Amino acid sequence: MEINSSRLLHQLFLIFLSVIATFSQSQQQSLTLKCKYEISNYNGRNFYTCYAIGLENHHENIEIDTIEGSHLKNYDESKVEALIIKNQNVSFLPNGFGEIFKNLIRLEVTESQLKEIKKSSFNGMNLETLKIRKNLIKNIENGAFDSLENLKELNLDKNEIENFSTEVFTKVLNLESFSIENNKIKELNENFCKNLPNLQDFYVRHNKIEKISSKVFENCENLKTLDFSNNKLSQISSKIIENLNFFDFSNNSCIINGFYGTNADGNFDENSTFIEKLEELCGQGQSRIFKIEIQKLGENNEILENKNSEEKEPKIYSNEEKLENNPTENQISSATSDDVENFKEEIQDLNSKLSNLETENENLKSNIEEKNLKIENLEMENENLRTEKENLKEQISSLKEENDKLQNEIEETNKNSDIGTQIEKLEFENSKLEAEIEEFKAQNQKLTSEIEKKEEELKNSKSLLQSCEISKESLRYQNEEINQNLRNLTNEILITSSNFDKCKEENTKHQSETENLTRKIPNLERQNEEMQTEIESLRKISDEKTRENFDISRNFSNLEAEYLGLRREKEDLEYDLQIYREKVVYFEKNYREKLEEISKCPEAPQSQVCCNELQIYKSVPLECDFDHIELEYSCKSTSLVIIHRHMSISETRGNHITRFIDNSNVKRLHVIDAIFKFFTNDIFNHFESIQSLEIINSQLLDLNDDKIKNENLKFLRIEGNLVDKLEDEIFSGIKNVEILILSSNKINNVEPLAFTGLFNLKKLDLKNNEIASLHQNVFADLKSLTHISLSNNQLQYLQGNLLANQKNLLMVKFNENPIISIGNELLKYAYNLENVDFARTCVGHSTIKGIEETKLRIEVNCKF
């Protein structure tokens, strides 16, 4: 029993270790970044900023794979331009910031325990500002900033940096400002400026630099500001500060060689340009005292600082009070050499005391800074110890609780054997391990969920792969077909090769003939070229003949149509002649009857009788069948006879359907199958309220002498008659007509102003006539037109602006016309078209532009 329990415990322990290893490995591979997003301002510019929360990393090469945090409205990761990592616990900067924040240009890492700057820390970034302040950095890897080619500002203040190689800055050619204050740097490399041609500001104060080479800033041609204050410099070359606008060497003890009245050896030079400037400023009488003062300052004075770059003349900022109290010219002349020597000794003593005080002050400052750093470190350690103490307290309390439980269990199980107690302990430990295993299972579930996500991505990639496989399979199938065709070709080639052997003998026989033929080939080729040119010329002639045949066929069709029209006219004339003869017989008979009746009245003069009888034939009655047609009271006449222009309608005859109705109630007049050759407006005198007039199959010849005049007329139908011409303003007397039907007549001439004034016309029907052309402005006044039909006419060309004013058109019919071409803008302004009919014309789809094919009916048929 004891052996089995120990084995079980050992197996559980191994499982526990494997789960911990798996969990720690998964934790070390990736990291989640939590952000608090705000708008921050830096140097007068607003940045959409991520402030890191709870970021902790103590391993190298850790990737940021996910990001959490709520964005401001209308913002996302692509809008983030600044990342601030402050008061976090980051020993190494994680990788992957550049992939998440594509437009990041500012990065700050402050008070976050950062130990080292690695080359991979800034991959994928395009930073302009980088600040890594108040951290624990001691080392900067060579090429750490190589990916930051656009970097302009770099700040590494308050770290533990002792030195850095010039290889750190190999590719930051655009760097303008570099600050490395409060570090432990002792020396600057002579090639420091080798790769920093655009450096303008350099701040190195509060370091431990003891010397500077005169060549260190030779390549920094744009350097304007230099701050070496609070270092340990003992000597500075004047070349360093020749072109600067601002420099600060305060809190150093050094000699500036070759500047302010000294030569290259450090000795005082009375002929220096600065002495001349002092003489200009202060007067020649004081020049000697100034020379003495400057010599002493050169030996043991604090750094001279030019803090006003706009002033052309340099100033002395130290020991100013002493220089202000200089003796006058008379005092100088009266002073003895002993007084001068005493004065020199006093100045030397004072300067030595001052330098000692400054060194002590510097030492005190450095000690204070070191102590402050130690205090900060101690405070951080204290804070960590406090947290550890709290954790230990919690662990102790939990252990006490567990101990109490164990004591209770021990008291209860004292009666049992030692083996039982060991088993219980093992079971208790086993339960602990099971609980921990449950925790790891939960964590494992998280990992499995992530794995499921990855599997989902894998499925998607598999689906893509499957589609690729399908395309691959299709390509393979095509390849097999090609191979099969290739095999067939090889078989044919084999057959051909066998036939070739058979033909080889014949080939030898015909070889001589072939040679003869090859000699003839140039002649044949020349003849072929001549034949080709002849064929081309014949083809051109054929095309011309085809066009001529087309024109001839078109002219023939026109002539045939004219012939048919003439034949119809002849038949109509013959028919009219027959009717006329019948009418003449009728009139002659009536005339004789009337003469017989007149002869019975001998008292009446004969001449008067003739005049009265002739008057009888100038007017005829209108016989009406009164009835309701389509809910309107109508008159239908089939016996009207008007055979010459001067005849009129004398009266109406017919019985109304009730005694309460008379002619004033008639709304519609139908003249059908009558003899109404010449229109007369007398027809409206008998029907005051007429709104609809129809003249159908009544041999009407002319509308021109007596124009239709009735402003109440809404509907006019003249169909199946013999009207052949529409003169200008023929319908000007019926301005309110809405429907005009002129179909199945002989109309072959429509003058440009025929439809003038018909502003209310909505439907116009001109089908089954002989119209061959239309003036471009013939429909100009028909602005309310919605339907127009010109079917079965002789139209060959439609001008582009024929329907320019018809913006309300819904239906257009040009079918069964020999139309060859139309203007480009024929239907451009007909925005509401629903039906366009060009069936049985010579017009194709490509000719008609701007109309949907669903609304278009085209059937090309050029056989006219």
CATH of the domain at 183: 3.80.10.10
List b or e across 214-227, with b for residues whose CB sees 16 or more CB atoms inside 10 angstroms. Answer: eebbeebeebebbb
Categorise residue 548: left if φ over 0, alpha if ψ from -120 to 50, beta otherwise: alpha
Task: Please report, as a single letter, which amino acid is at residue 160.
Answer: E
**Among candidate residues 263, 214, 208, the one with its CA nearest the CA of residue 235:** 214
Ranges of beta strands (E only) in 595-655 are 619-623, 625-629, 632-637, 641-642, 648-653
Question: For strand 625-629 and strand 632-637, is the pairing parallel, antiparallel, or unpaired?
Answer: antiparallel
Q: What is the dihedral of CA 698, 695, 636, 648, to 10 degrees?
A: -80
pLDDT of residue 806: 83
Residue 177 within a domain: yes
Residue 229 within a domain: yes
Q: What are the residues whose beta carbons fall under 8 Å from the beta carbon of 196, sequence distance 6 or more? A: 169, 172, 173, 175, 178, 219, 220
Residue 475 within a domain: yes
Calpha distance 748→313 (Å, rounded): 107
Q: What is the dihedral of CA 112, 117, 120, 123, to 10 degrees?
A: 70
Calpha distance 200→218 (Å, rounded): 13
Domain count, the chain: 3
Calpha distance 680→782 (Å, rounded): 26
Residue 4 within a domain: no
Calpha distance 330→288 (Å, rounded): 13
Residue 674 within a domain: no
Q: What is the DSSP string of 141-161?
A: -TTTTTT-TT--EEE--SS--
Burial class (CB within 10 angstroms; exposed 0-12, middle 13-18, buried 19+) of 281: exposed
pLDDT of residue 602: 45
Neighbours of 411 (CB within 10 A): 9
Calpha distance 432→447 (Å, rounded): 22
Residue 76 within a domain: yes
Calpha distance 212→226 (Å, rounded): 13
Which of 496, 529, 544 is at the close of a domain? 496
Which of 282, 309, 336 is at the close of a domain? 309
The two structure tokens encoding residue 790: 């010109």
Residue 621 within a domain: no
Residue 110 within a domain: yes
List b or e across 131-143, with b for residues whose CB sees 16 or more CB atoms inside 10 angstroms. Answer: bbbbbebeebbee
DSSP state of 71: P
Element (H, E) at 695: strand 692-696
Calpha distance 489→111 (Å, rounded): 80
pLDDT of residue 60: 86
DSSP state of 227: E
Angle among Cα 753, 756, 758 to the nearest 5 degrees reads 150
Q: What are the residues whose beta carbons fall under 8 Å from the beta carbon of 107, sequence distance 6 or more? A: 82, 83, 85, 97, 122, 125, 127, 129, 130, 131
Q: Mean pLDDT, consecutive 10-residue segments, the chain of 864 residues?
A: 53 57 49 91 92 90 88 90 94 89 94 89 90 93 89 95 85 92 91 89 93 86 91 83 85 60 44 38 33 36 36 35 40 49 70 74 75 73 71 72 73 58 68 73 73 72 68 70 76 72 71 72 78 80 76 78 82 75 62 52 42 54 85 87 79 86 89 86 84 91 74 93 91 92 94 92 95 91 93 90 86 90 81 86 74 70 62
Task: Determine the structural domain holding residue 784 and report its residue range.
Answer: 724-860
Helix pair angle (287-300, 337-412), 10° resolution: 30
Which of 256, 291, 309 is at the close of a domain? 309
Q: 740 with 719: CB under 8 angstroms?
A: no
Question: For strand 153-155 and strand 177-179, is the pairing parallel, antiparallel, or unpaired?
Answer: parallel
